Copies of this chain bind each other. A is one copy, B any other.
Amino acid sequence: MSEHKPLILVTNDDGITSHGIRTLANLMTQLGNVMVVAPNSPQSGMGHAITIAHPLRLYPTDIFPDFPAYECSGTPADCVKLAKNHILKDRKPDLVVSGINHGSNTSISVLYSGTMSAAIEAAIEGIPAIGFSLNDFSRQADFSHTEAHILAIARNVLEHGMAKGVALNVNFPAKQPEPLKGIKICRQADAKWQEVFDERRDPHGRRYFWLAGEFVNFDPHAEDTDEYALAHNYTSVVPCKYDLTAYDTIKEMQDWHL
Could you list which residues of chain A lie within 8 angstroms of chain B, going by C-beta atoms?
Answer: 42, 44-53, 55-58, 74, 77-78, 81-82, 84-86, 108, 110-112, 117, 120, 124-125, 152-153, 156, 160, 162-163, 165-166, 169, 182-183, 185-188, 190, 192, 194-197, 199-200, 206-211, 237-250, 252-258
Seed contacts A45-B51, A237-B253; 12 additional CB < 8 Å A-B pairs:
A44-B53, A45-B49, A45-B53, A51-B211, A81-B197, A82-B197, A160-B255, A187-B250, A237-B258, A240-B244, A240-B245, A244-B244
Identical chains in the assembly: 2
**CB <8 Å contact, B195 and A85:** yes
**Distance from A63 Cβ to chain B, minimum over Cβ atoms (Å):** 20
Q: A112-B49, A185-B254, A258-B237 are in contact. Are A58 and B242 (CB under 8 A)?
A: no
**CB <8 Å contact, A124 and B112:** no
Q: Which 6 A-B pairs have the closest CB atoms?
A: A47-B48, A239-B249, A55-B208, A47-B47, A240-B244, A241-B246
**CB <8 Å contact, B185 and A250:** yes
**Distance from A84 Cβ to chain B, minimum over Cβ atoms (Å):** 8
Q: A48-B47, A246-B240, A249-B166 are in contact. Are A153 and B208 (CB under 8 A)?
A: no
The main secondary structure of chain A at its interface with chain B is mixed
Residues in chain B near residue A112, CB distance under 8 A: 48-50, 77
Pick 18 A–B contacts, CB within 8 A, sort by A. Answer: A44-B53, A45-B52, A46-B47, A47-B48, A47-B117, A50-B211, A82-B197, A108-B242, A111-B117, A111-B242, A163-B246, A165-B190, A183-B258, A185-B250, A188-B244, A190-B243, A238-B245, A241-B245
**CB <8 Å contact, B47 and A86:** no
**CB <8 Å contact, A248 and B82:** no
Most chain B CB atoms below 10 A, which of A44, A246, A250: A246
Residues in chain B near residue A187, CB distance under 8 A: 243, 245, 247, 250
